[in-house]
Amino acid sequence: MPELPEVEAVARTLRPLLCGRRIRCAEVLHPIVTRPQTPALIRELSQGQCIEAVWRRGKYLFLELKRGLVEMHFRFDGQLLWFASARELRARTSSAAGLHVDVIFELDSGVLGFIDPRHLGRVHVWESAGDCAPLSSLGIDALSRTLTAEALHAQISSSKLPLKEFLLNQKKIAGIGNIYSCEALWQARLDPRRSGNSLDHKESGRLHKAIVSVLKRALECCLDPAPDFSGPQWWFQGPEEILRVYQREGLSCRRCGGNIRRIVQGGRSTYCCLNCQK
């Protein structure tokens, strides 16, 4: 599931391809991904509009239009493809491989396709950023300069949530998912089960440092090699190499040699070393 670093890498790589281009035609092939918005509304709000900027907030990708905003969320398997022409896209999607293209934005040059084999990803178009409900519900972006150690402490010290669940709550801090929350807590040597308000300044400072360092390191990996939008077989490889605890259940901790355990919190797997994470 793409988290902040993956979506940021997608935004940076797409920017030169999309900025300044006009959306000639928007086609929704699987209306479930735009619900409750209808294909007609998606067309009405996006067709003929120029893409002025491409940016990310939390795990969302936004295409800023001259008037309005395209919002995309990849959920588990959503991906973007870039084709030179609509003809190429149709040739690829009609192949036996079946690419499950959900939404197509045909630009004055090039075609952007949103694909998701399970159709769980989401694409919406809003008349203005103010209308975009997901955007207004997001907390401070995890890589934004406004997320200082002080700001994190203020947020975390007023939360009774276990640290792991606090980090996954997009309304508090936006952009961190299951993988990088495990990694940040391991790096900060904090027990994921502790409640937010049990952290002193020193500990929340350590967590802040760990969040920023884990996300920045992952982003570097996601940009080298940069996303390749030519087919669904492509996916980020680099970030796996920097993981220290995620999905290492039963293996020994790279810091203390203790046993990495998998515990379940809020229905999600947490990987941690309870020997050195206190």
Q: Which residues bind Zn ion (CB under 5 A)?
A: 253, 255-256, 258, 273, 275-276
Which residues are within 8 A (CB) of 171 and not within 5 positions of it... i.e. 6 or more apart?
A: 137, 138, 139
Distance of closest approach, residue 261 Cβ to Zn ion, in angstroms: 10
Closer residue to Zn ion, CB minimum distance, 63 or 253: 253
Compute the Cα dihedral for 257, 261, 266, 267 and give only its sign: positive
3 flagged as catalytic: yes
CA distance 160 to 269: 20
Between 144 and 259, CB nearer to Zn ion: 259
> Considering beta carbons, is residue 218 or 253 the nearer one to Zn ion?
253
Q: Contact at 8 Å (CB) between 182 and 272? A: yes
The catalytically annotated residue of 75, 209, 244, 268 is 268
- The residue among 53, 56, 54 whose CA lies nearest residue 141 is 56
Active site includes 118? Answer: no
- Candidates 21, 56, 59, 92; catalytic one: 59
To the nearest whole angstrom, how small is the minimum distance from the Cβ of residue 69 to Zn ion? Answer: 44
Please indicate whether residue 66 is annotated as part of the active site. Answer: no
Biggest CA–CA distance in the chain, Å, is 59
Nearest 5°: CA angle at 228, between 222 and 234? 85
d(C-alpha 238, C-alpha 40), whole Å: 39
Q: At its nearest, how many Å lie between Zn ion and the CB of residue 213? A: 18
Question: Residue 145 or 278: which CB sits closer to Zn ion?
Answer: 278
For the question of residue 2 being annotated catalytic, the response is yes
Question: Closest approach of Cβ 206 to Zn ion, in Å?
Answer: 15
How many Cβ atoms from other residues are within 10 Å of residue 35's Cβ?
Answer: 11
Give the catalytic positions in this structure. Answer: 2-3, 59, 268
